[in-house]
Chain A
């Protein structure tokens, strides 16, 4: 008997079945792509748009101070003055009610009465735009005060973000790596539903009645799954990089090892779920719970650090947390075998080995009862 021929046929059969399975296409390819594109549009923005606000300016009695402030407001790139000129108060309030402008500024009535009034729509009082406008106006008035008093500011704040790696981690990079990790995790978690189907249909038993090497069968299945995961990575990366300008700096060795560990660990978790699920519905239920839990708690869409304190320990035990971190390390920072990398790899391997052992044990102990 020719094992190589046997393996080739098994692998080709798995490949054909995967590509003929509409579920695999939907959940493995279509769903992660749609999800990523949506999140990219919503949170990362297609372009580098700066903050912009439309405001109305009311100058009840033009004077020297108000003229000066008006000129300086015109210089601010973040504000667009509606109709370009000051209007009367009624007009400004109407615009606010109609949401034609985000806010109205009422300039001081005389050079001595130094009050600048800011009017916003009551509904938007707490909104981020209002906060931003208030902050900018306050800053602006500070500057004006200092200038009026003829003082040079002693301190100034310069704002810049830093990351620990070579590139700057933007949200789009964060999201891209998160989505790749999620897609691979989902493939593993949901993919093992085949085992439930094969057991239910008696296919596992049928194969055991032939001289086929079951180890070879399992191996061909696994390699087929890895091929599918590589397609997911390449497709998502291509969309992220070319469609949304995500930055990728890959440490290839680290990425390959981590990818293998992750794909195998999540497949082992799926195998574990299949070992105690008698029906497809039961399997899908458990896999969905695991998947949703990890989707929101493992730093796929939002950083783990922003979760409430009491949820942090949950995130700390989930395997996807480590897989996502590892992918960010190896795909965005191009840093390879650091101590945190080994730790991430170790946790993934631990999850994989433990779930695989429990799963095999359940298969052996319950197989007769479950397959009769």
Chain B
């Protein structure tokens, strides 16, 4: 069942074409991730979906509700964690939560939320004294205050250290456990890959592609990159390079001194062949690895751009 349906969204700010044409549907209970480089239109898209910015074109519907007709009902059903923390620094964790809870007709108990976002022991601390990770967890906690069906998390882990990032991941997984629908944007491919049920890649205000992470990676060619280093120096590496070029499965070879990189559509076959060749000549191989395909490769394949965190 689709809880949110976005179709042909468009938004221009003067000459800046922030969003050109974005459509997607979000199913109940899934974690739906929007990824894309800076300026791709992620935040503008979210702000239109959250009712902050009116779109120039296209429609947004929550079931049968729209922002024009049901603004207050939609606000009761959604919870938002914006990119900038947006907290009252001079109030305590608990006071922030209590204040926000008075805005809604339905509330999830503060104690329960504090437990989920792991802030129980900091409840009486002023927000200005919290760490970056704690602030981000509070922002997510505030998004849960009205026990919403749909949560929007805009780059919840940007700027956090790896441990704090993993804490946030646990919270997102818990939200899914609670049956919530989560719409997430992120800068980190790894995050999108581990957390999402479905990923939507946007670039230059358009949807590039959308599917489960595994299906997206599976859509790439079978070509894999293999890296290895020859123990016996550049001469041996040059000989191996000549041999690799003769193999039909190998598409491309690069050599730098004794280090080699090659791209093969049948990596296991090529490696098997390579090891046999080296053993016949009495060469030994120092290191060898096959690089797994990731969402990053999906991004590069679909947009032709290098990914930059």
* Chain A residues with a Cβ under 8 A of chain B: 1-2, 5-6, 9-10, 13, 16-17, 20-21, 201-203, 205-206, 208-212, 368-369, 372
| Residue of B whose beta carbon sits closest to that of A5 | B102
* Residues B86 and A201 in contact, CB atoms below 8 Å apart: yes
Interfacial chain A residues near B83, Cβ < 8 Å: 202
Partner of A211, one of B43, B52, B75, B85: B75
* Residues B51 and A209 in contact, CB atoms below 8 Å apart: yes
* Most B CB within 10 A of own CB, among A16, A20, A201, A206: A206
* Residues B95 and A16 in contact, CB atoms below 8 Å apart: yes
Q: Take A211-B76, A368-B13 as given contacts and tell me if A202 and B85 are in contact as well, using a CB distance cutoff of 8 Å.
A: yes
* Residues B72 and A206 in contact, CB atoms below 8 Å apart: no
Give the tally of cross-chain contacts (CB within 8 A).
68
Q: What separation, in Å, do the CA atoms of A268 and B117 have in the docked complex? A: 40
- The interface residues of chain A, by DSSP majority, are classed as helix
* Residues B75 and A16 in contact, CB atoms below 8 Å apart: no
Interfacial chain B residues near A368, Cβ < 8 Å: 13, 53
* Residues B102 and A201 in contact, CB atoms below 8 Å apart: no
- The interface residues of chain B, by DSSP majority, are classed as loop
Partner of B104, one of A13, A211, A369: A211
| Residue of A whose beta carbon sits closest to that of B105 | A1
Partner of B80, one of A201, A206, A369: A206
* Residues A202 and B86 in contact, CB atoms below 8 Å apart: yes
Interfacial chain A residues near B76, Cβ < 8 Å: 211
* Chain B residues with a Cβ under 8 A of chain A: 13, 43-44, 50-53, 72, 75-76, 78, 80, 82-91, 95, 98-100, 102-105, 126
* Residues B99 and A205 in contact, CB atoms below 8 Å apart: no
Q: Take A6-B103, A13-B88 as given contacts and tell me if A209 and B126 are in contact as well, using a CB distance cutoff of 8 Å.
A: no
Q: What separation, in Å, do the CA atoms of A229 and B76 have in the docked complex? A: 36
A17-B90, A209-B50, A211-B104 known; 20 new pairs, CB 8 Å cut-off, are A1-B103, A5-B102, A9-B102, A10-B99, A13-B91, A16-B90, A16-B95, A20-B90, A21-B90, A201-B89, A202-B82, A202-B83, A202-B86, A203-B86, A205-B82, A206-B80, A208-B52, A209-B75, A209-B80, A372-B43
Q: What separation, in Å, do the CA atoms of A229 and B82 have in the docked complex? A: 34
CB distance from B97 to the nearest CB of A (A): 11
Q: What separation, in Å, do the CA atoms of A231 and B145 have in the docked complex? A: 35
Q: What separation, in Å, do the CA atoms of A211 and B102 have in the docked complex? A: 10
Partner of B91, one of A17, A202, A210, A369: A17
